Amino acid sequence: MALASDEVREPLERFVAGALGVPSCELTKVARLAGGTVQDNWILEARMPDQSRHRVVLRTGRVVGVKDSLPAEQEYAVLRAAANAGVCVPRPVAVCSDPAVIGRPFFLMDFVEGESRPWKLQRMPAVMAAGDEILDWVGVQLGRLQAIVPDRQALPFLRPAPRDAAREAIAEMRAYLDRHDHAHPAIECALRWLERHAPPPGPIVLCHGDFRIGNVIIDHCRPVALLDWELARWGDPHEDLAWACMRFFRFSRPDLEGGGLGARSALLRGWRATTGRAVDPWLMRYWDVFSNTRWAVVSLQQVARHVVGGEDSLELALVGLGTAEMELEALALIERACAGMPGGR
């Protein structure tokens, strides 16, 4: 999409001006931000009538969407709900459903300065020294998010809340595998284990859906905002906690279970302080296996976008190569859980 083209510039400038509450503005910078296999993010710098500058991020779905990812208008509603619940997010600015403006629905949020790429953060000694504090903060944010529970008014466009988050997700993953072109015995083993050990249905809360350090903006060692809400859904409170701790997201520090930045216990501490709930170690282990299994299945879906969806992206193709990593991790976690060993370092 050519956001910087002349046909788009004028209607976009009008929209941004309206959203920022000024009669007009001039877009002095329109540039694509790196990252995101699902969404497109653009930074817009607007020169206001008083010559001040305001930076916003324009977020829109890619042409080929991912199953279960929310369209821009819905993601915007989730972002607002999270902000209202006290979760630190980039300030939602405005949403545009009119395709006449840029050709697709999009929304605007304030630009937040900082770094979110874990492999970059891991090279910053000051960030690593503050790792546990950052994780504590992240746990607090998650606790606040989980105060949002299903009711008739809350986010009505989300798929209905599951009654039994684990079992329903297992059934969905199996249904996907049945449509896949070849069998995956390792994933089947993990799913069978998850089915046989599924905990009784617990409370259902709003889940971020891709809760990990890579979606936290950190500015000068201080976490400032949680990003990327397009995969939000109703689910089990442990889902996001376990997702953030997956080996896959620890990058060069696999020993640091808290997203490669610090201790998992720091994340749980912040979460506990906000929710008043303690984490049952067995449940944590269960959802660790669950997360890796789910990510293995999602990686198959991602690579299917590349293979049959016609989306020629090397990034997507490489995600598919990760399937074996999550499979082996899930098998190893099951092995450990079965042996009754302590759950990792």
Binding positions for another protein, rule: CB under 8 A: 34, 174, 177, 182-186, 188-189, 191-192, 196, 247, 254, 314-315, 317-318, 321-325, 327-329, 331-332, 335-336, 341-342, 344
205 within 8 A of 234, measured Cβ to Cβ: yes
Closer residue to another protein, CB minimum distance, 86 or 344: 344
Backbone φ, ψ for residue 292 (5° rounding): -65, -40
Place of tokens 């790196």: 34
Closer residue to another protein, CB minimum distance, 104 or 117: 117
Closer residue to another protein, CB minimum distance, 41 or 141: 41
To another protein, the closest distance from the beta carbon of 57 in angstroms equals 17
**CA dist 133 → 95, 226, 259, 317 (Å):** 33, 15, 13, 35
Place of tokens 């442990």: 238
To another protein, the closest distance from the beta carbon of 133 in angstroms equals 26
Q: Say how far apart CA 286 and CA 277 lie, in whole Å.
A: 17
To another protein, the closest distance from the beta carbon of 223 in angstroms equals 23
Closer residue to another protein, CB minimum distance, 76 or 243: 243
The contacts of residue 77 (CB under 8 Å, 6+ apart) are 155, 157
175 within 8 A of 187, measured Cβ to Cβ: no
CA atoms within 13 Å, Cβ hemisphere of 201: 11
Closer residue to another protein, CB minimum distance, 97 or 252: 252
Amino acid at 296: A
To another protein, the closest distance from the beta carbon of 188 in angstroms equals 4
Closer residue to another protein, CB minimum distance, 80 or 212: 212
To another protein, the closest distance from the beta carbon of 302 in angstroms equals 14
Cα 148–Cα 243–Cα 150 angle in degrees, nearest 5: 20
To another protein, the closest distance from the beta carbon of 282 in angstroms equals 17
Amino acid at 59: R
DSSP state of 114: S
